Amino acid sequence: MKYSPLNNSAQEKIDGLSIFLFIVLVIIGFLSISSATSDVNQEFYSLSPIAIKQLIWIGGSIVIIFTILYSNVVVIDYFTYGFYAVAITLNIAVLFLGREVSGAKSWFGFGGIGIQPSEFAKVATAMALAKYLGTYGIRFQGARNIAICLLIFLLPMAIILIQNDTGSALVFLSFFLVLYREGLPGFILISAVWLMFLAICRIVSEATGISSYYGYGLLLGLGSIMVFFARKDRGISGLITFIAVVSAAFYTIVGTVYSSLLQQYQRDRIELVLGLKSDDRGLGFNLRQSKIAIGAGEMWGRGYLKGTQTKMGFVPEQHTDFIFDTIGEEWGFVGAIVFLLIFCGLLTRIVILAERQSTTFGRVLGYSLACVLFFHLSINIGMTIGLVPTIGIPLPFISFGGSSLWAFTLFLFTFLRVDQVRK
């Protein structure tokens, strides 16, 4: 037996494809960071201090990987709630002991090294949620169970919001997607999409000055027509009336929140992404430079280490949040698509692995991993190409940073370890 003795489980090989894709991504990440932070005039390939740091982080994640691979799953299971508690505690502690980085108080500083506990909160939350739903006799049913499930991930989300790290907090919304697999009715998600649509409509009306009464009129009109056709079924017509009323209420609330609660810079960002504003010099500078970087890649890219947009600092945060620009600029459309394929391949693989779990714990953990990664990928890349507002969250395995890399490594390998010993 190669690995540690296991709890009566059948011995399976760890999933090679996932590990392969993980390694490829980490290597792409390292090369991109190295390029984005290299000197324009270097004659020989040499590593920037940031690239060397990333190498150290990668070394650390190898330690994490082997630690997990040689741990007993029972131990992982045993410490899940403890881990969760530690993560929550650290995230609260950082509010008092942490240092502020670009407006967010979410970092512990140790000399030159920073640790961001919110990154670890994701994996801890996923494990806690998995363990709770995996507990014998517990299902995603009943008010109490649902409440506890929501509490498990809304608590860290709230704490991280207090840290003023909106991006990391929003990531916890991806657990709603996980719950869909565990029985959360689809209509709730559809409702969410519907409400998002309503919100966007309202914001557009607020930002452009188009009267919001059109929205009310439309809701009233559509509702009336539908009620008219369903007038024989009291239940349905009642439901439609209810939806229309709730929608109208939500529509009103969004208007109020948008115009009086949000800060001007937040409004600017939203309007920028919605295409309601174009501002190439001011706020739009980052997005524009990001687009120039990616666009400059054209079909085949400008070549490794040849991306000037990222190296010369035109793209902000070029080695962290905007690392995808380096890929787009240096490897072009082909490289970007290959990268997306690799990442989506890993996501799909994780979904498939999650689905083959025999335990709820394993399944929930797998779906959590897939959903969190999916959220990060869509928000991060969407941001660089202007489909999503500028929300500062890293691209997993690619962006520079120890916390993110270690947390996602921990997440992925914990799941792969669980998968390895599935019954």
Partner 1 sequence: MEKGSKRQVVYIGLIAFVFIIYSLKLASIQLGEVPYKKMAINNALNKITLYPSRSNIFDRKGKLMVYSTQMYDLSSFPYEIKKLDTGLLCSILEIDLPTVRHLILDARIRAKKRQKNNAFNNSALFYANLSNKQFTLLRENIYRLPGFYIESRTDRQFATTTAPHALGYLGEADESLIVLDDYNQPGDLVGITGIERYYEKQIRGIKGVKTVWQDRTYTERGVVKDTQFNYPSTAGPDVISSLDFDLQEYGRLLLNGKKGSIVAIEPSTGEVIAFINNPDYDPNTMVGRERAKTFKSLLRDEQKPLYNRAVKGVYPPGSTFKTVMALIAMQEGVLSPETTHGCAGGYRLGSIRVGCHPHGGPLDLRGSIRISCNSYYCQVFRDIIDNPKYGDVKLGYAALEKHLRSFGLGSQLNIDLLGESRGNIPSVAQLNRRHGDRWKSSTVISLSIGQGEILLTPLQICNVAAIIANRGWYYAPHLVKKIDGFKDTAWDRKYKLKKFTTINPTYFATIIDGMSDVTKPGGTANGTGIADIEICAKTGTAQNPHGKDHSIYMAFAPKDNPKIAIAVLVENGGFGATWAAPIANLMIEKYLKPGVETSKPAMEERLKTSVIK
Residues of the shown chain interacting with partner 1 in the complex, contacts defined by CB under 8 A: 39-41, 43, 177, 180-183, 281, 289, 291-299, 302, 308-309, 311-314, 328-329, 332-333, 336-337, 340-341, 344, 347-348, 351-352, 354-355, 367, 370-371, 374, 377-378, 381-382, 385-387
Question: Which residue's CB is nearer to partner 1, number 223 or number 389?
Answer: 389
Residue pair 325/318 in contact (Cβ under 8 Å)? The answer is yes
CA angle 135, 139, 68 (to 5 degrees): 40
Angstrom distances, CA of residue 298 to CA of 145, 285, 302, 333, 395: 51, 20, 8, 6, 22
Question: Which residue's CB is nearer to partner 1, number 163 or number 289?
Answer: 289
Residue 351: CB minimum distance to partner 1, A: 5
What are the tokens at 184? 């959360």
Residue 240: CB minimum distance to partner 1, A: 25
Inter-axis angle of helices 360-384 and 323-355, to 10 degrees? 160
Angstrom distances, CA of residue 328 to CA of 243, 299, 335, 339: 43, 10, 7, 9
Residue 187: CB minimum distance to partner 1, A: 13
Question: Which residue's CB is nearer to partner 1, number 120 or number 324?
Answer: 324
Question: Which residue's CB is nearer to partner 1, number 33 or number 90?
Answer: 33
Question: Which residue's CB is nearer to partner 1, number 120 or number 415?
Answer: 415
Question: Which residue's CB is nearer to partner 1, number 231 or number 306?
Answer: 306
Ordered alpha helix ranges (H), 71-116: 73-97
Residue 341: CB minimum distance to partner 1, A: 8
Q: Which of 28, 29, 46 is nearest to 38 (CA)?
A: 46
Question: Which residue's CB is nearer to partner 1, number 49 or number 59?
Answer: 49
Residue 46: CB minimum distance to partner 1, A: 14
| Gap between the Cα atoms of 419 and 12, Å rounded | 8
Residue 42: CB minimum distance to partner 1, A: 9
Residue 223: CB minimum distance to partner 1, A: 28
| Gap between the Cα atoms of 89 and 341, Å rounded | 37
CA angle 72, 75, 77 (to 5 degrees): 115
Question: How would you classify residue 332: left for phi > 0, otherwise alpha for psi between -120 and 50, otherwise beta?
Answer: left
Residue 356: CB minimum distance to partner 1, A: 10
| Gap between the Cα atoms of 54 and 34, Å rounded | 9
What are the tokens at 108? 């512990």
Taking residue 301's Cβ as centre, other Cβ atoms within 10 Å add up to: 20
Question: Which residue's CB is nearer to partner 1, number 29 or number 328?
Answer: 328
